[in-house]
Amino acid sequence: MVKVTALGGVGEYGRNCFLLKEEATNQTILLDCGVKNGKPEQFPAITEQLASTIDVVFISHVHNDHVGALPLLAAKGFTKEIWLSEASLAQIEPIKSVWRKKADVSPYSSSDVDKLRFQSFPSDSRGKWTKLSDHLSFTWGYSGHMLGSVWYVLQVGKHMIFFSGDMSLESPLLVTDYPRKMGYDVALLDTGHSGITMPREKSMEAILAFVHDPARRYTIPVSISGKAFDLMYLLYTNLPDRIFFIEASFRKSAHLYLQFSDNINSAKQAALTEMLQSERVQFGFEPADQRPGIYISEQPVVGCVPISTSDLAAQSFYKSHPDLADTNHLLKFVKAKQYLFFHSRQKDLRHLLSQIPHYQSKHIGGV
């Protein structure tokens, strides 16, 4: 039997953290360890007793709502391995610096950050089984959500578990590997945007309509993510008369896209390289810059026309998680005895379950 405990992430958007315990082998696994973004951040309920039982941690990707509580895990005594992809590991050092800066207002100290033991699996192990012990093996594939994001299939004792991490089925740049069609005992599925159905083409039509005037300045606030680079690429290819002003902090992530080419759609690699080398894409700008164009940064640029891509109710919304149609599509591949639908706000989870009545009794996370 596999017992699944959601320490966060079910009925809320963020704080993704899931504990698996396989009773026959006494294996305990933590899948992601994130916070709910905000001021203050909300942490999962990790105790010293719980931390002492965990054998290994698997990280799907390095967004704060999936890794932000790792220093707390270390503070509670966890010292074992934390597995993640090579591209995710390449992004960890700046994140560790942020954790250290937050230590004074967080339930951990700066020294706890240095206790974390990250271990990456090689890119050429994708789709292959890696054996960690007599009782635990895993395989993985790219999930299309951000650079380095992956899903996992875990074999724990005699049980098979699928963990989607965050998924995007329509990224124009990132590879999304579909999971193997097989029977799972438990499947944990990202259903973050299942409250709506929004094809990528429809989103882009709306966004392009909003940024129609080449003489104006538009600001698209978005975190450093797969979504940011998807939007940059789609706007760049659709608007050949525009200049793009990108926050300087995005530069390193852009170069990582070129470094980890196996994570990039092979048909788009040449176009991506051309975009990042183009004079139309400028990394770094001054807040007072008055030049017309499209400004992409983590915070809105004052004086620009704002374009919201994160508000589900906005016509310009751009999804970065499975919507309702995507979830139905994934369920054709992922057949399980039990499901945990995560990353959905309470009302969106209720809507999802109302649309897939056959799965209501199999959902183990409650509503």
Instruction: Give the Cα separation of 158 and 160 in Å (integer).
Output: 7
* Within-domain flag for 164: yes
93: CB partners within 8 A, 6+ apart: none
Residue 115 CB neighbour total at 10 angstroms: 16
Per DSSP, 252 falls in state H
Angle at 306 between CA 305 and CA 309, to 5 degrees: 145
Q: Are residues 154 and 298 in the same domain?
A: no
Domain identity same for 336 and 259: no
CATH number at residue 279: 3.40.50.10890
CA-based torsion, 47, 53, 56, 58: positive or negative: negative
Shared domain for 71 and 148, answered yes or no, is: yes
Shared domain for 159 and 280, answered yes or no, is no
**Residue 185 falls within a domain, yes or no?**
yes
Q: Is residue 324 part of a domain?
A: yes
The reply to whether the predicted model has a pTM over 0.75 is yes
Co-location of 141 and 276 in the same domain: no
Pick from 181, 302, 307: which is nearest to 234 by CA? Answer: 307
Q: Tell me how far CA of residue 85 lies from CA of 65, 127, 152, in angstroms.
A: 17, 13, 11
Regarding whether 208 and 190 lie in a shared domain, the answer is no
Percent over 90 (pLDDT), the chain:
89
Are 256 and 287 within one domain? yes
For residue 158, the model assigns a pLDDT of: 94
Tally Cβ neighbours within 10 Å of residue 26.
11
Based on the domain organization, do 72 and 153 belong to the same domain? yes
Domain count, the chain: 2
Q: For residue 311, is it within any domain? A: no
- Find out whether 186 and 29 touch, Cβ atoms under 8 Å: no
What per-residue confidence (pLDDT) applies to 224? 84
Q: What is the CATH number of the domain that holds 42?
A: 3.60.15.10
Across the chain, what does the average pLDDT equal? 95
User: Is there a domain that residue 313 lies in?
Assistant: no
Asked whether residue 189 falls in the same domain as residue 206, the answer is no
- Residue 347 inside a domain? The answer is yes
Task: For residues 194 and 169, give the distance between their C-alpha atoms in angstroms, rounded to a whole number.
Answer: 13
Residue 176 and residue 207 in one domain: no
pLDDT tens digit string along 126-141? Answer: 999 999 999 999 999 9
| Domain that residue 256 falls in | 200-306
Same domain, 6 and 141: yes
Give the three-class secondary structure for 326: helix
Distances (CA, A) of 154 to 127, 137, 166: 12, 6, 16
DSSP codes, 131-170: EEETTEEEEEEEBSSSTT-EEEEEEETTEEEEE--S--S-
Lowest-confidence pick of 77-81, 178-182, 242-246, 292-296: 178-182
Is 165 in contact with 61 (CB distance < 8 Å)?
A: yes
**Residue 367: inside a domain:** no
181 and 207, same domain (yes or no): no
Confidence grade of residue 366 (pLDDT, cut at 50, 70, 90): low
